[in-house]
């Protein structure tokens, strides 16, 4: 009987220790959330440090690109997930293990993984090749536009040369500009008209003198 009473007292003591107030429960939950938050902050800080080191390896390559090409930025976004943006649609983020680098790209069909490595050096080389391919694509696009415009440029040049050649005329053993020759042609036409007028007037005067002499023979 005494043993049973002692067991009940021990059980009551254990039960009493297990009882918790609402304040104790809330404190426990807050502590757990704080631990998770601290772990998240530490994880983001670690991810940011890793991505900053990767950006430093890529910086000399991006700085060597033509200043007119502003597609590449190497900006770190400190959001819920830390990202290292390479251009407007591609970025690098760390996987759940905190060690694996993932090179991702947003496309019309969704987000895709371009590469995934644990070694930051290999990832830097892969991103460098991606940047090089984008630069070559841009240069080819510019060259393609230039080549496509070449027939128009050539045709316009030929038309300009033809118009320039037609503006000159061969006169008196030398080439004269047609615009400069226009005043000379006008003067020549006026002189010819005046000569013909004088010639006609002289002929008319001779005819009139002959008629007058024929009708008045005694006047001579």
**C-beta neighbour count of 86 within 10 angstroms:** 25
Q: pLDDT band at 103, cuts 50/70/90?
A: very high
Q: Is residue 189 part of a domain?
A: yes
For 1, the token pair is 């009987």
> Same structural domain for residues 102 and 179?
no
> Same structural domain for residues 100 and 192?
no
> Same structural domain for residues 179 and 84?
no
> Same structural domain for residues 102 and 197?
no
Q: Match 């770190």 to its residue by tokens.
A: 76
Q: Which domain holds residue 80?
A: 36-145
pTM of the predicted structure, to 2 decimals: 0.52
> Same structural domain for residues 139 and 173?
no
Beta carbons within 8 Å of 219's beta carbon, 6+ residues apart: 213
> Same structural domain for residues 165 and 100?
no
Task: Kindly state the average pLDDT of the residues 92-119.
Answer: 93
Q: How many domains does the chain have?
A: 2
* pLDDT score, position 4: 47
């Amino acid at each position: 009987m005494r043993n049973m009473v002692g067991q009940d007292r021990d059980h009551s003591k254990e039960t009493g220790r297990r009882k918790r107030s609402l304040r104790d429960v809330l404190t426990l939950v807050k502590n757990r959330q704080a631990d998770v938050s601290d772990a998240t902050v530490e994880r983001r800080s670690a991810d940011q440090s890793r991505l900053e080191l990767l950006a430093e390896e890529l910086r000399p390559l991006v700085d060597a690109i033509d200043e007119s090409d502003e597609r590449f930025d190497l900006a770190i976004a400190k959001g819920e997930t830390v990202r290292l943006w390479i251009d407007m649609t591609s970025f690098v983020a760390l996987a759940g293990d905190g060690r694996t680098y993932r090179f991702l790209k947003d496309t019309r069909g969704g987000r895709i993984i371009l590469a995934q490595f644990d070694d930051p050096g290999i990832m830097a080389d892969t991103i460098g090749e991606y940047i090089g391919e984008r630069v070559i694509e841009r240069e080819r696009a510019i060259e393609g536009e230039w080549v496509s415009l070449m027939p128009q440029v050539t045709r316009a040049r030929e038309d300009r040369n033809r118009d320039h050649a037609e503006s000159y005329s061969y006169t008196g053993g030398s080439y004269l500009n047609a615009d400069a020759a226009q005043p000379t042609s006008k003067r020549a036409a006026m002189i010819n008209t005046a000569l013909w007028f004088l010639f006609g007037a002289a002929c008319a005067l001779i005819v009139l003198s002959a008629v007058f002499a024929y009708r008045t023979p005694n006047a001579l």
